[in-house]
A and B are shown apart, each in its own frame.
Chain A
Amino acid sequence: MDRFLAVVVHEYKKVVLKWSFLVGTLLLPVLAGVFAFVPAIIFSLKGEPTRIALIDRSGTVAPRLKDNLSAEKRAERARTAAREAAVNITPSQEEQLKMASAQMVDSFIFTDIDPAGRSIEDMRSELTTRITADEFDAYLIIPPDVNDTAAVYEFRSRKGADFVTNDSLRDALNSAVRSQRLAEANISEERLASIGRAVKLDAKGLDDRGGEKDTTGLMIASFVIGLMIYITLAIYGQAIMGAVVEEKETRISEILFSSARPFTLLFGKLVGVGLAGLTQLSIWIVSAAALLAFLALQTDLSQLVGAVPSISPLMILYFLIFFLIGYFIYASIFALIGSVVTSLQEGGQFAFPPVMLLLAAFYFSIAVIRDPNSSLSFWVSIAPFFAPITMPIRILAETPPFWEIALSIGINVLAIAGLVWLASRVYRVGMLMYGKRATLPEIWKWIRYV
């Protein structure tokens, strides 16, 4: 027992006291924070106002355009956009940009230019000269007939790549021209809005007690949790493999084997590295909670909170159980590979079967999200190798009856016992075989050695 604890402490410290662990553990929350806040901060910085020379040959669009780009209108649109985005937990990059650009108030200065009978080519060259002289940043020529759908609205800007400005201007211009067309066709804007409104499809799942729940949030949360388990299992499995290969490469294993039983060493290694993994996970969970709390203080997220599926303490317990199950399954496979190969590079090549299994489990989880009660979902959520990812997702999507969870845990614990036994048989011989990688028949022989 003392030896086992010595191994556990040693392996734990070896992982946790490494720079890469510290960096990895701290960097992930920091990166998450950066991705959450930085775009908003960058786009909230007001750019220099864009000075636009405006030639309105129609004579009707210019006032509407200026009105659309006025401070009040833009602020109102920003509020609407923010409300819409809040319902969606993960607004896409494009939506974030739109939100941000909508907040850029007062960034256009228009100067009306009267062509006074001069030709359009004449005006163009004059405006180009004035832009070059830094009198304006851009010019916009509105064609005479708003109803001509083939007409071109000419916008030339020194800051041609400023897509935020271009986007805002296009939206405002579109809406101004449309309003003008409607006005000319005698259709009121309100009426058109009510005709064109999209139907509201209220998509919600029903839980077994007949309560309603939001499926979008569920889908995203399932995906995030599945991905998180997948990544942690892959990382810590490979960490185990690295630790095993190091002891084999440096020939430390012979000293270790003369001090403790191979099983004690292997199991201590699995537990030590596993505890390091749990440490990292807890730091992430705590910092995620802190981040959410901070966000909640910053903005009114009552709508957002409604979209996050409710996660009970029992579910968290299940997640931890299945995380540990997955860890022991994959870590023992990686340990087995580590004790057969001769170097870490070689180990990398042979790591693909467990990685493929993990990936398959992750893909199965998508099927589980779509239909948690199908027979496919049932089988993959009790099968060893897949259950560690698919069962937590199934529990989140539609908690199955307790006996199914218990069955899954039982089957997978048996699988762990088998795999750890197998790995320790191979480990005990493989760690002392230097020089060449073992073949499958050799491994089979090792397993049968007394």
Chain B
Amino acid sequence: MNQEQATLRAEGVTKRYGDFTAVDDLSFEVKPGRIFGFLGPNGAGKTTTIRMIVGITFPDEGHISLFGEHITTETQGRIGYLPEERGLYKKMKVVDQLKYFAALKGVSGRESEKRIDFWLERMQLTEWKKKKTTDLSKGMQQKIQFIATVLHDPDLLILDEPFSGLDPVNVEFLIDVISEFRTGEKTIIFSTHLMETAERLCSDILLINKSQKVLFGSLREIKESYGQNLIAFRGEGAGAILEDRSTIERVVTHADEQELHLAEGVDAQDLLKRMITSGVVISKFEKTEPSLNDIFIDRVKGGENSHG
């Protein structure tokens, strides 16, 4: 695949339902071989956007291209989509369901059986092959749904809240599998509200809120643009300095440390000096970046944050 060409390109995409605009003039690009985090609070328009990408609905305005082409049943065949609202046929054997989903994506016969066996083995579910959905735990069903998403070896994987309902062990397990998947030049779009996970996995993010784009770019750049003036601090006797609003704009208190947001133009080095000369006992003084969670809350809630 041409490295220059975006896997997915959305230009001015708008979708309305009656008077309600679900997605408003959204433009972004997903580059091949990356894990792309698609973030936003509930109701922001994530699912609507994803449905347009996978060809379930179509934009009222704007244009989406996949692999440089219009969205057709052909491009659908190259996508693996794990929806947020997902399910399995209740009274059908695991293997039969997987065969059906594979056949719908154009994989059938011996090839489909081979891949099903491979993935059941990989997900440690081989012994459940002939069982019905009703015999499976919620976590097992999740894994089966994931298998259904990747059976046809898609070039683009779209995972909408893939970890909801999974226990921590299985979350780690699935993250491993997803990371493995990425090494094969596959692109992954990954929608979640678990910021820690997004932070670990994603190289690029798109944050939308109230139908509109809020942030878009590589995680590194975004963090750097945010993280100039943030200090993780733990120590005693700094009360007066922390109250000085000309130096420290605000303080967010966590369980055992404080997050100091430095004012415009204040150098961390100078602050450290000042603390030492004022006899503050410092046990931690570290220049940090904001977490994705902080950025998310900051951008979504605006100035509503409580000051420490």
Contacts and interface: CB of A to CB of B under 8 A. Distances in A.
A binds B: yes
Interface of A: 2-3, 6-7, 9-10, 13-14, 246, 249-252, 254-261, 432, 434, 445, 450
Contacts of A246: 89-90
A3 B145 CA distance: 19
Nearest to A248: B87
A74 B56 CA distance: 77
Contacts of B96: 13
Nearest to A265: B104
A7 B89 contact: no
Contacts of B79: 258
Contact of A254 (B58, B85, B100): B85
Interface residues of B, number: 30
B54 interface: yes
B87 A250 contact: yes
A6 B104 contact: yes
Contacts of B54: 257-258
A251 B100 contact: no
Q: Determine which residue in B54, B77, B87, B101 has the highest number of CB atoms from chain A within 10 A of its CB, and name it.
A: B87
A7 B89 CA distance: 14
A2 B81 contact: no
A254 B104 contact: no
Interface string B245-279: 00000000000000000000000000000000000
Nearest to A250: B87
A432 B56 contact: yes
Interface of B: 18, 51, 54-56, 58, 73, 76-77, 79, 81, 83, 85-90, 92, 96, 100-101, 103-106, 108, 145, 148-149
Contact of B58 (A10, A434, A450): A450
A445 B18 contact: yes
Nearest to B60: A450
A3 B81 contact: no
B86 A256 contact: no
Contacts of B77: 259
Contact of B87 (A251, A258, A432): A251
B88 A252 contact: yes
A352 to B, nearest CB: 26
B86 A6 contact: no
Contact of B106 (A3, A9, A251): A3
Contacts of B73: 3, 260-261
A257 B92 CA distance: 19
Cβ-closest 3 pairs across A and B: A250-B87, A6-B103, A251-B87
A372 to B, nearest CB: 46
Given A13-B96, A251-B85, A260-B104, 15 more contacts: A2-B106, A7-B104, A246-B89, A250-B87, A250-B89, A252-B88, A254-B83, A254-B86, A255-B101, A257-B56, A258-B56, A258-B76, A259-B76, A259-B77, A432-B56
B56 A254 contact: yes
B104 to A, nearest CB: 4
A256 B104 contact: yes
A265 to B, nearest CB: 9
A254 B101 CA distance: 12
B83 A255 contact: yes
13 contacts: A2-B103, A2-B106, A252-B87, A252-B89, A254-B56, A254-B86, A255-B81, A255-B86, A255-B101, A255-B148, A256-B104, A257-B54, A259-B104
Contacts of B18: 445
A111 B243 CA distance: 125
A258 B104 CA distance: 10
A7 B77 CA distance: 15
B103 A10 contact: yes
Given A6-B108, A14-B92, A254-B56, A259 B83 contact: no
A450 B40 CA distance: 27
Contact of A10 (B85, B87, B100, B148): B100
Nearest to B105: A259
A251 B104 CA distance: 16
A6 B100 contact: yes
A6 B109 CA distance: 12
A252 B51 CA distance: 14
Contacts of A260: 73, 76, 104
Contact of B83 (A3, A6, A14, A258): A258
A11 B56 CA distance: 21
Contacts of A3: 73, 103-104, 106
Contacts of B88: 250, 252
A257 B73 CA distance: 10
A250 B90 contact: yes
A438 to B, nearest CB: 13
A193 B51 CA distance: 86
A251 B89 contact: no
A250 B55 CA distance: 20
Contacts of B89: 14, 246, 250, 252
A306 B96 CA distance: 51
A246 B100 CA distance: 16
A16 to B, nearest CB: 13
Contacts of A434: 85
Nearest to B81: A258
Contacts of B101: 255, 259
A78 to B, nearest CB: 53
A207 to B, nearest CB: 51
Nearest to A3: B104
A188 B125 CA distance: 92
Contacts of A251: 83, 85-87
A3 B73 CA distance: 10
A2 B87 CA distance: 23
Contacts of B92: 14
B130 to A, nearest CB: 14
A445 B73 CA distance: 25
A259 B77 CA distance: 7
Contacts of A9: 103
Query: For B54, B56, B101, B149, which residue has the most chain A Cβ atoms within 10 angstroms?
Result: B56
A445 B77 CA distance: 30
A409 to B, nearest CB: 32
A426 to B, nearest CB: 15
A249 B103 CA distance: 22
Contacts of A10: 100, 103
A118 B58 CA distance: 105
